[in-house]
Amino acid sequence: QQQVKQSPQSLIVQKGGISIINCAYENTAFDYFPWYQQFPGKGPALLIAIRPDVSEKKEGRFTISFNKSAKQFSLHIMDSQPGDSATYFCAASRGGGSARQLTFGSGTQLTVLP
Amino acid sequence: KAGVTQTPRYLIKTRGQQVTLSCSPISGHRSVSWYQQTPGQGLQFLFEYFSETQRNKGNFPGRFSGRQFSNSRSEMNVSTLELGDSALYLCASTQRGNTGELFFGEGSRLTVL
């Protein structure tokens, strides 16, 4: 019930290509779906987040697509750049306020080739 | 504005010992959460503190404990260390009533020998 399943585990994309990472969840009580980016030696940093009342959110080259009925959401990175090479985690939480308890996916290691 | 600061950044302990990790949240942030990151289990929630009170706790044994001080700084303690406790321990802070964005520190990497 608390799991968030993420795929693929690793992804290699050419510079300028589109990177797509998928996540699926089971708990319908989740109401907040963030994506975090983590570089080696650093903590995760929030990239973009979405709530289930919208189907898509775009910020620059990053877009979240959300399918509530399928309980799936995905991250699209357009015009991927070598600087985007990092590990990406999807997550989900419920409860509101500051008592957020994130359930993370297993992570996707993205490599963008120059 | 300074970010989340965690100390120490690296430490090595032996089985059976205990360890205390420290976290200073972003100024003005009153909620502090702790996560364990390992290659096998990924990022797992340990606990969350707000105003010196533990409000949520993940599925970890009682050897893992924490506390928060009146200045919002937090510590976590792991007693009777096991090899499997080797991990990156991440602290994150957020403002009360925030939409959910957590600001993570760079972590404390614990190695248990």
Pick the residue of A53, A93, A100, A104 with the most B CBs within 10 A to test the interface with B by mutation.
A100
Which stretches of chain A are assigned E, i.e. beta strand? 4-7, 10-14, 19-25, 33-38, 45-50, 56-59, 62-67, 72-77, 86-92, 103-104, 108-113
Distance CA B111, CA A98 (A): 31
> Which residues of B are less than 8 Å from A104 in CB distance?
42-44
Contact indicator for A27, A1 with CB cutoff of 8 Å: yes
Mean model confidence pLDDT for chain A: 92
Pick the residue of B43, B93, B95 with the most A CBs within 10 A to test the interface with A by mutation.
B43
* pLDDT tens-digit readout, B8-50: 999 999 999 999 999 999 999 988 999 999 998 899 999 999 8
Per-residue pLDDT at A36 exceeds 90 = yes
DSSP assignment letter at A82: G
Pick the residue of A98, A100, A106, A108 with the most B CBs within 10 A to test the interface with B by mutation.
A98
> Which residues of B are less than 8 Å from A107 in CB distance?
42-43
Tell if the CB–CB gap between A101 and B44 is shorter than 8 Å: no
Per-residue pLDDT at A89 exceeds 80 = yes
Closest-CA residue to A31 (of A89, A85, A103, A87) = A103
Residue with tokens 């570089």: A39
Distance in Å, alpha carbon of B106 to nearest chain A alpha carbon: 4
pLDDT greater at residue A41 or residue B22: B22
The alpha carbon of residue B25 and the mean position of all alpha carbons in its chain are separated, in whole angstroms, by: 11
Distance CA B4, CA A59 (A): 25
Residue B44 corresponds to which amino acid?
Q
Tell if the CB–CB gap between A89 and B55 is shorter than 8 Å: no
**Interval B73-100 mean pLDDT:** 89
Confidence of residue A65 (pLDDT cuts 50, 70, 90): very high
> Which residues of B are less than 8 Å from A40 in CB distance?
none
- Confirm or reject contact between A34 and chain B (CB < 8 A): yes
